[in-house]
Chain A
């Protein structure tokens, strides 16, 4: 990927972070940590990869995106707003009683959201269903899902993994956000789901390990997934929870708490400084 493209995507990723934090700050509720860890993959997919039409969110042949770790909706909403599915200024209505931006993704009320999620483990199965339907109907759309590493403790994730491999869903790519943290602490301390690469491989998947904050590696992984026939692909992304905001990085407590005014100002200043440095 050329430098100009990397710069462009880096800026979009930073804008996604700003949008996610604005929503969580104004709601004084929501999940910043896991929204920040996926802003790079969201930027890549929505701005360099996925075939979507903001004027026709229900377009039948679009690529699909399922945020299986639905609690990180603030990140997704920011990406969708920047893409043009709805006005950027609506991000601050997150979680308000009259808002279409629900605490967890709601496909019936938010343009661009392809699947309702929030109960961990369900989204990856729904993504399998979208991919299966694409196969049955000879559609060439691709399906992308983002899962949490903590989420991979759900048995249903492995039921879906078995299903996807058995049905040869090579149109499905699952990104596992390996940020190392869940709510009660480090995933290796709660109930260790690693090694995730060997597990997915044993379940019959094509597995790629990448740095989830490197656009070149994301690009190569997506290309590899597209070139792989007969198997779904798991992209295990090593990431930093809270990435881009110094005091949120690698802190379990920023999983689901909102910044106060001063913290918010500092976070915005850090991200703006990063944008200026690009």
Chain B
């Protein structure tokens, strides 16, 4: 069985690793350093870490000011309190002036678990996607999370990075893996339907492919870790070659990957698109495995939706 590591752990480790090379990185948190894992950076570089207290709107706006001076600020809290609570400051103080701020949002999605709905952010891809020029990265595993941090540092402009609380399987090889902002990755070839997944749903899409194979269905699997700018080329090619698409995300089916893919497919190569995600409802408290089951974030549901998508082909 593959190792399991939470992407937030990888985020914290990457901050420490790249903090050594880039001395102009500074890190902000809002009283959640242990949870977001910026505590690792705090330990390694106490002079470049600033706890802003429980004041997220102030934190992201301070980061905007820091960015105007040529430093590279990272700021972290839970996705709910960055993309949610601090949406408007992110839009107006970071997005509009296109400042070089990196937002490391952890505890995204339903896998927050027991804290429940107030903390389970299912809207962040949606809110962040509507900000012009915002790059949105949603890594599938620890290797990709590390690479996303490096790519964010090397990109000049605002980046929203989405990390999870729960440990997830490691899918990629650190030595060979290459990450490029805006490029999707084809994880498996297939011709009957394409499973386009992001974040924790990528490993489930690979499992769904096996379920479908047992029924004689050949599914392509694509990992979209850059939600914006979306890799339209890989998606439109999949639409043309497989004729049906299923999206899978740990997010509301409104506003996130499913919406982005549907928009691209409608405009570029209309074929059926069926979305797997949280179906326009709020989260709830619980342990992670039953929650994923409850909300249909499972390989079985992806496979079922793949059959639906195929049945909708003209």
Contacts and interface: CB of A to CB of B under 8 A. Distances in A.
Interface string A141-171: 0000000001101110000000000000000
A154 B55 CA distance: 5
A97 B290 contact: yes
Contacts of B34: 183-184
A99 B118 contact: no
Given A97-B284, A191-B53, A103 B115 contact: yes
B81 interface: yes
A106 B117 contact: yes
A102 B53 contact: no
B285 A153 contact: no
Contact of B114 (A27, A120, A121, A187): A27
Given A97-B285, A150-B53, A154-B54, A116 B114 contact: no
B286 interface: yes
B286 A120 contact: no
B80 interface: yes
Nearest to B39: A184
Nearest to B288: A97
A101 B115 CA distance: 11
B55 A104 contact: no
A103 B31 contact: no
A244 interface: no
Given A116-B118, A150-B31, A191 B286 contact: no
A29 B116 CA distance: 11
Given A97-B286, A97-B287, A183-B31, A120 B54 contact: yes
Nearest to B33: A184
B24 to A, nearest CB: 24
Interface residues of B, number: 31
A182 B57 CA distance: 18
Contacts of A98: 286
B141 interface: no
Interface residues on A, range: 20 to 34
B166 interface: no
A96 B285 contact: yes
A118 interface: yes
Interface centre among B115, B118, B285, B287 (most CB of A within 10 A): B285
Interface in B272-290: 284-287, 290
A79 B80 CA distance: 28
Given A117-B118, A184-B31, A184-B34, A103 B285 contact: yes
B55 A102 contact: no
Contacts of B304: none
23 contacts: A27-B114, A29-B114, A29-B115, A96-B287, A97-B284, A97-B285, A101-B285, A102-B117, A102-B284, A103-B115, A104-B118, A104-B119, A117-B118, A119-B84, A119-B85, A120-B54, A121-B54, A150-B54, A151-B54, A153-B31, A153-B53, A153-B54, A190-B51
Across chains A and B, which 8 residue pairs bring their CB atoms closest together, nearest first? A97-B286, A191-B53, A118-B118, A103-B116, A153-B53, A29-B114, A95-B114, A103-B285
Interface of B: 29, 31-35, 51-55, 57-58, 80-81, 84-85, 113-119, 284-287, 290-291, 294
Interface of A: 27, 29-30, 70, 94-99, 101-104, 106, 116-121, 150-151, 153-155, 182-184, 187, 190-191, 193
